[in-house]
Structure 1
Amino acid sequence: MPYALKSSGVGLGLLLLVLISVITDYSVNLIIIGGALSNTMTYQEMVRVAYGKPGYILITVMQAVYPFIAMVSYNVIIGDTLTKIIGRVGGDQVANTVLSDRNFTVFLATVAILIPLSLYKNIAKLTKTSLLSTGIICLILVSITIRAPVYAAQVVPSEYQWTFANSRIPQAIGIMAFAFMCQHNTYLCFHSLQRRSLERWALVVHLAVGFAMLASSLFGLIGFASFATGVQGDILENYCPRDDLINVSRLLFAVTIMLTYPMECFVVREVVENYFFQHPPPLWRHILLTTGIVALAYLVSMTTSCVSIVLEINGVLTAAPLAYILPPLCVMRLQNEPFFRMPNLPMLATAAFGIVVAVSGLIVVAMELAEGVRCSEGSEMPYCWGNSTRLARAYGSQSG
């Protein structure tokens, strides 16, 4: 989120955050309404009823690609965070060993934690881990707030750092769309509710999206205030390796990511099962498919260490169509009434927003890739090298 505010400008970024929150809330409820209109229980089936086999193939591909790329980005973040923690704890003794290698670290996390959690069959089993993740997010927010004045003092002031709007708006929207994207597991969550109803679901969505908007705004503002235009795609990459308060946050964040990871794997697995098999899997196929998905995500994540471009690509390629374009188009089609009528204006506006985001985002990302992706994520920041008295006091070291 701090990187998104850097891309769009702080003022415009916060407005976009509110807009995307409102549209997300609206579209998630549209999906459930579409399910009621089509008498279906999955996003895929709703699109099949609305647009036939071509729509079904499109939603299947997109609904599998989005969470899969999310799994890849989570692996990148796990590698960034855990290697710094291991380096801090082990010091020179692990500096040149396999334990300092990000690929090996992610492999260990995959085998020991990600695969076992992903093997659950029911998303309701993750209720307690999701609650734990939410609590951890609050603790991380407290830690970066404590450190904000210390690191802000290291940033060279710039007259452009607090501009209202910047030119990289499509990238910012792509990142925000990725962050708020939950439409792909809407039905999984809806069917995990006790005493399901549209009213109870709407309340859950309002509370969840409202909390996400508040947390995202705070992370964005505090992170940008700490590092301004030097902020990285993963904000924890901006902090020094010897800052032990942040190292605790890194560990907590890695735990959060590992607890969130299975939800994305659940979606990929369900989409593949629904498309190719369409009946409950035997245990051997469940284990084989889950392990294969997680292993493939691990292999792909080894090809990049730059999480920001991963989020941008996923946001514009899959999140925008899944979240903003398909839900309103499906509901309007299922109503069996003309598209262009007054009651449909909110849905038409939502679909138009998604199309603009997808097209402009694709153009900008293509230009970025053509120029060559450059990021310093995974590298120690220059202000951690010198003698900073404030940084030294902050994390109990004699050198910054």
Structure 2
Amino acid sequence: MNSEEGTTLTAPQKASGEHRRSMIYASFNFINSIIGSGIIGKYSLHISKFNLSHKQTQITLMLCLYFVADYSIILLIKGGNMSGTHSYQSLVKSTFGFPGFLILSGLQFLYPFIAMISYNITIGDTLTKVFQRIPGVGPDHILAERHFVILLSTLAFTLPLSLYRNIEKLGKVSFLSMVLTLAILIIAIIRASTLGTQILPTENAWVFAKWNAIQAVGVMSFAFICHHNSFLIYGSLDQPTLSNWSRVTHGSVGSALIISAAFAVAGYSTFTGYTQGDIFENYCRNDNLATFGRFCFGLSIITTFPLECFVTREVLSNVICSRDLSKAEHVAITFLIVAVCTSISLAYDCLGVVLELNGVLSATPLIFIIPSACFLKLSSGRWFKGENLLPTILISIGLFVMVTGLTMTGLYPQDCSHGVEMFYCADANVSGTVPPS
């Protein structure tokens, strides 16, 4: 074999390389989709007030939701294979007819659409504080105006990235988002060790579990959902088989679990009952390390936005057109989605209640109820026997979480302190710029 032959890839080797690359890109997109929400998963601990000295309880809840999400994602694709369908909407339509198709389309549109609104709110909250650390940029500067920052990020980044037609092209962008997220996590852990001892815990901060902990399940469901774009990512695989998809799912959801749990512990252990829906709302504005973290956080959210836009566009195209979009239609629908989403985020600035409502109304049925119901409809045998038992249990849990979570959110909505410097920042030591005494 000559040197040229030794370096030339054969067709099977090329196919194997493309297969691995497609799985890697699919995993990046999957993890980015989950982490985009999971990075704020620590907010669920602000609601539930778990006792961090009982880590086994906290980890148990997150592990349960991890297994539910992991199982239902695979169940969803399995249902698609059983019915010969290739999208979430077509699966539900084949099993529950046109009424089911409309309900699923509404939920599948609502979740990523609200997620995009929450991302814009986060971008506005975060990057304005970053820009104010630039010399000469004060509170009255245009770069300190959240409306301008949201519009700037939309026109410069989120809209152009959302115009892609192939989700696989976002794989490298999603990898960048993962790197940024790891940097943010390191910063949160550092600040947990430097600030946690300086901020006194709120009253009953370490109570084992409060009676309204059910609200945490809805927000955690928000943090673990990726079902709405599962078929899109599954279809991007070079070899879309159930075994390949299972490997992608296990690795992606597991990675997101670890990162979300780390954020949850670092965030709540630092700020206890003062924890805000946006973790960087808690850090002081003159904290240079937190400023860098805010910058990474803003970029990470910007790179996640297009993944959600892909889903909303596909849902609209399936409902309105029932065919592949032309180039002009693709651009027009993308502009419409981004414009409406941006307009709402400019008018509304409280993130906490947005996450709660999206969790109980959209994420919970998409994770617990619909994949299980489709599988039960397609499978043979009784609903309470064999492999049908677990989907039946998940439906029951999902209905309970939806009803209870919605009631609790209506009765006890979470507040927010948008743009307000936290009281403990008055102490120079707590700002993070001066080592604690």
TM-score, normalised with respect to structure 1: 0.94
Give the secondary structure class of the aligned counterpart of 1:375. coil
Q: Distance in 1 between the 2:164 and 2:147 partners?
A: 25
Q: Which of 69, 78, 82 is 1:37 aligned to?
A: 82
Structure 2 residue corresponding to 1:80, chosen from 125, 128, 131: 125
Once the two structures are superposed, the pairs formed by residues 115-194 of structure 1 within 5 Å of their partners are 115-158=159-202, 160-194=204-238
Letter aligned with residue 432 of structure 2: L
Shift of 1:90: 4.0
Residues 353-392 of structure 1 mapped to structure 2, 5 A cutoff: 353-368=397-412, 374-388=415-429, 391-392=432-433
CA distances 1:225-276 after superposition (whole Å, capped 9, x unpaired): 1111111111111111111111111111111111110000000000000111
Stretch moving more, 385-394 or 75-84: 385-394
CA distance in 2 between counterparts of 1:72 and 1:393 reads 36
Q: Which moved more, 1:19-28 or 1:336-345?
A: 336-345
Matching of residue 252 in structure 1 with residue 302 in structure 2 = no
Do the aligned partners of 2:105 and 2:319 also contact (CA within 8 Å) in 1?
yes
Q: Where do residues 1-400 of structure 1 align in structure 2 (5 Å cutoff)?
A: 1-10=41-50, 11=54, 12-91=57-136, 93-158=137-202, 160-368=204-412, 374-388=415-429, 391-394=432-435
Deviations 1:294-338 (A, max 9, x none): 010011112322111111000000100111100011011012443
**8 Å CA contact 1:233, 1:377 repeated in 2:** no
Matched residues, number: 391
1:327-383 Cα offsets, whole Å, 9 max, x none, are 0110110124432323311111111111111111111112135xxx63113211111
- Secondary structure at the counterpart of residue 164 of structure 2: coil
In the aligned structure 2, how far is the partner of 1:160 from the partner of 1:94? 38
Return the alpha-carbon distance in structure 2 between the equivalents of residues 26 and 163 of structure 1.
Answer: 31
Cα distance in structure 1, aligned partners of 2:270 and 2:133: 22
User: Greater shift after overlay, 5-14 or 316-325?
Assistant: 5-14
Identify the range of structure 1 (329-338 vs 17-26) with the bigger mean alpha-carbon deviation: 329-338
The CA deviation at 1:388 is 2.6
Alpha-carbon distance in structure 2 between the residues aligned to 1:200 and 1:5:
34
Change (3 A) 1:390 1:61: closer
Q: Quick one: percent identity of the two aligned structures?
A: 39
Residues in 2 aligned to 1:35 and 1:139: alpha-carbon distance in whole angstroms: 37
Distance 1:336 1:275, change over 3 A: farther
CA contact (8 A) 1:47 1:59 kept: yes
Q: Residues 309, 159 of structure 1: CA spacing in aligned structure 2 closer, same or farther, 3 A cutoff?
A: closer
Gaps of 5+ in 2: 1-40
Do the aligned partners of 2:70 and 2:253 also contact (CA within 8 Å) in 1? yes
Q: CA deviation at 1:390?
A: 7.4
Q: TM-score, normalised by structure 2?
A: 0.86
- Residues 1-25 of structure 1, C-alpha deviations (whole Å, 9 max, x = no match): 3321132232444322111110000
Q: CA deviation at 1:116?
A: 0.1
Matched letter for residue 37 of structure 1: M
Q: Measured at CA, do residues 131 and 165 of structure 1 come closer, stay the same or move farther in structure 2, by a change above 3 Å? A: same
Displacement of 1:68 in angstroms is: 0.2
Which structure 1 residue ranges, 5 or more long, are not aligned?
396-400
Give the AA of the match of 2:185. L
Matches of 1:374 and 1:158 in 2, distance apart? 16
Give the stretch that moved more between structures: 262-271 or 93-102: 93-102
Cα 1:390–1:47 shift into 2, 3 Å:
closer
Structure 1 runs of 4+ aligned residues shifted over 4 Å read: none
Inter-CA distance 390–339: structure 2 relative to 1 (3 Å threshold): closer
